[in-house]
Structure 1
Amino acid sequence: MTANVLEIEGLTKRFGDFVAVGGVDLAIRRGSIHALIGPNGAGKTTCFNLLTKFLTPTSGTIRFDGRDITRSGPASIARMGLVRSFQISAVFNAMTALENVMLALQRKRGESYDFWTRRSVLARNRGEAAEHLDSVGIAHLADLPAGALSYGHRRALEIATTLALDPAVILLDEPTAGMGAEDVGRITRLIHDAARGRTVVMVEHNLGIVSEICDDVTVLSRGQILARGDYASVAVDERVVEAYLGGGHA
């Protein structure tokens, strides 16, 4: 087992003549919380979509646990243990919170994964699903439809369903976007707790969260790495300060 769970070499993505990500080299330490930050248009989202295989690189290599996954698809890497959440909460609104987590557990165990599964099959996962809801603080909302939950509670549910898949690496796309201060604090604590025994990679605009819980920070600008290190070091890097002041906060 290597120290780095994800390794990226020469990662490049072109859209016609436009280079969105150009020759990025990146190493994600196993067991760390790693943030990708940068001003608007820095290439963070494109880089994240390349890592999670929602975009195919023009060139470069992505390795997970030493295995080349450059041409693997999103479903394939999810089965390997790399699970992504989205900027917009992705849950089944008509199903209850408990049913959403039971469905995730069903998938993890390799059982039939379709919308016609009998409730009795899903119910086998009820106890463990309830534990996951409790771990993110929404056990009392188990029987409510996901669509009836507040935005912050839906994001907590999404983290619960992600954890139910028992991933090695959790990839979070702006997990606190659009939240009020109370929900931001709750989700920040959940991310910190979720990272125990796992690796977290996230794109996050809120630099306060990055400074609070992230071990490593990579700053992107114009599709390339501008700086890397812990938050304290990158925050005082003159190139980073100039990039943010020139382009606005991401």
Structure 2
Amino acid sequence: MAEAIIETRGLTKNFRGFTAVSDISIRIEPGTIHALIGANGAGKTTCFNLLTKFLEPSAGSIFYKGRDITHLKPDQVARLGMVRSFQISAVFGHLSALENVKLALQRQRGESYDFWASHHRLDQHRERAMALLVDVGLGQWADTPAAELPYGRKRALELATTLALDPEVMLLDEPLAGMGTEDVGRTAELIHRVAEGRSVLMVEHNLGVVAELCDRITVLARGEVLAEGDYATVSRDPRVIESYIGGARHD
């Protein structure tokens, strides 16, 4: 079996007696789009935060390309090539789309975020920043302050700043949350495109997008792995229908 890009073994997180995730063992294969799904409270966000080191596990191990990263810090795993986005868009609202991407490129090259840096210094990143904006469909929005971008375009900008860090693995936390139908389709296509040559792990509620986009799906329920496989496999699992799909119909 090929080495996983990300692997967890017995991953567990307790909060003052409450077990949020228990004994989770999953493998993210290189070059795939892998989804974590489950009903509210299933443990998706906790698992995601453990993988990206925003939480420390109570037990278990996390491996990246065979290396134990269980006790590394978020910035350390980011430098290894694992870069996450957030459910709430994390861009600088008062800066233009182009400036946001230039700053991300500046950081990726090991420079500090110098907001007071000269235009000449920041403009060395302009060409690459514009190329990234074009890649995510924001070429015409380059000079627009991020705070003024429509919601779907703001999430596209976040993907551009994530790509500026040149990640080997992208971890996306509900990238389609709050989007209308048009933005959902556009962003799903964008994720599919930028995933070429990368691995993607995403937490997502939109089952239609998961079915079309993801190679493999892990279904969580009550903090444990309920089922795993491609969409055809997990969508036929009676436990998944009862716990996730059936539960959603009754919400």
In structure 1, C-alpha distance between the alignment counterparts of 2:78 and 2:116, rounded to whole Å: 22
After TM superposition, give the deviation of residue 117 of structure 1 in Å.
Answer: 2.2
Per-residue displacement from partner, 1:23-65 (whole Å, max 9, x unpaired)?
0001000000000001111101110110111111011100111
Question: Number of residues paired by the alignment?
Answer: 250
State whether structure 2 residue 111 is matched by structure 1 residue 111. yes
In structure 2, C-alpha distance between the alignment counterparts of 1:245 and 1:174, rounded to whole Å: 17
In structure 1, C-alpha distance between the alignment counterparts of 2:161 and 2:7, rounded to whole Å: 26
1:81 counterpart letter in structure 2: G
3-state DSSP class of the match of 1:248?
Answer: helix
2:29 counterpart letter in structure 1: R
In structure 2, C-alpha distance between the alignment counterparts of 1:245 and 1:68, rounded to whole Å: 35
State whether structure 2 residue 170 is matched by structure 1 residue 170. yes
Q: Give the match for residue 236 of structure 1.
A: 236
- Asked if 2 retains the 8 angstrom alpha-carbon contact of 1:10 and 1:23, the reply is yes
Per-residue displacement from partner, 1:58-86 (whole Å, max 9, x unpaired)?
11100111111111111111111100001
**Identity across matched positions, percent:** 60
Moved more, 110-119 or 38-47: 110-119
- Asked if 1 retains the 8 angstrom alpha-carbon contact of 2:50 and 2:57, the reply is yes
Q: Which consecutive unaligned segments of at least 5 residues does structure 1 have? A: none
After TM superposition, give the deviation of residue 112 of structure 1 in Å.
Answer: 2.7
- Asked if 1 retains the 8 angstrom alpha-carbon contact of 2:82 and 2:169, the reply is yes
- Asked if 1 retains the 8 angstrom alpha-carbon contact of 2:173 and 2:204, the reply is yes
Q: Give the match for residue 49 of structure 1.
A: 49
Per-residue displacement from partner, 1:155-183 (whole Å, max 9, x unpaired)?
00000111111100000000000000000
Q: Give the match for residue 76 of structure 1.
A: 76
Q: Map of 1:45-194 to 2, 5 A cutoff?
A: 45-194=45-194
Per-residue displacement from partner, 1:194-214 (whole Å, max 9, x unpaired)?
110000000000000000010
- Asked if 1 retains the 8 angstrom alpha-carbon contact of 2:3 and 2:66, the reply is no
- Asked if 1 retains the 8 angstrom alpha-carbon contact of 2:105 and 2:165, the reply is yes
- Asked if 2 retains the 8 angstrom alpha-carbon contact of 1:40 and 1:248, the reply is no
In structure 1, C-alpha distance between the alignment counterparts of 2:135 and 2:3, rounded to whole Å: 28
Q: Give the match for residue 15 of structure 1.
A: 15
In structure 2, C-alpha distance between the alignment counterparts of 1:94 and 1:174, rounded to whole Å: 24
After TM superposition, give the deviation of residue 12 of structure 1 in Å.
Answer: 0.2
- Asked if 1 retains the 8 angstrom alpha-carbon contact of 2:216 and 2:229, the reply is yes
1:121 counterpart letter in structure 2: R
Under a length normalisation based on structure 1, what TM-score does the superposition of the two structures give?
0.97
- Asked if 2 retains the 8 angstrom alpha-carbon contact of 1:12 and 1:60, the reply is yes
- Asked if 2 retains the 8 angstrom alpha-carbon contact of 1:13 and 1:21, the reply is yes
After TM superposition, give the deviation of residue 245 of structure 1 in Å.
Answer: 5.2
In structure 2, C-alpha distance between the alignment counterparts of 1:169 and 1:40, rounded to whole Å: 25
Moved more, 237-246 or 43-52: 237-246
In structure 1, C-alpha distance between the alignment counterparts of 2:175 and 2:71, rounded to whole Å: 26
Change beyond 3 A, Cα 1:15–1:212:
same
1:150 counterpart letter in structure 2: P
After TM superposition, what 4+ stretches of structure 1 lie above 6 angstroms from structure 2?
Answer: none
In structure 2, C-alpha distance between the alignment counterparts of 1:117 and 1:12, rounded to whole Å: 44
Per-residue displacement from partner, 1:210-244 (whole Å, max 9, x unpaired)?
00010000000010000000001000100101112
After TM superposition, give the deviation of residue 116 of structure 1 in Å.
Answer: 2.6
Q: Which consecutive unaligned segments of at least 5 residues does structure 2 have? A: none
Q: Give the match for residue 196 of structure 1.
A: 196
- Asked if 2 retains the 8 angstrom alpha-carbon contact of 1:40 and 1:247, the reply is no
- Asked if 2 retains the 8 angstrom alpha-carbon contact of 1:152 and 1:183, the reply is yes
Under a length normalisation based on structure 2, what TM-score does the superposition of the two structures give?
0.97
2:137 counterpart letter in structure 1: G
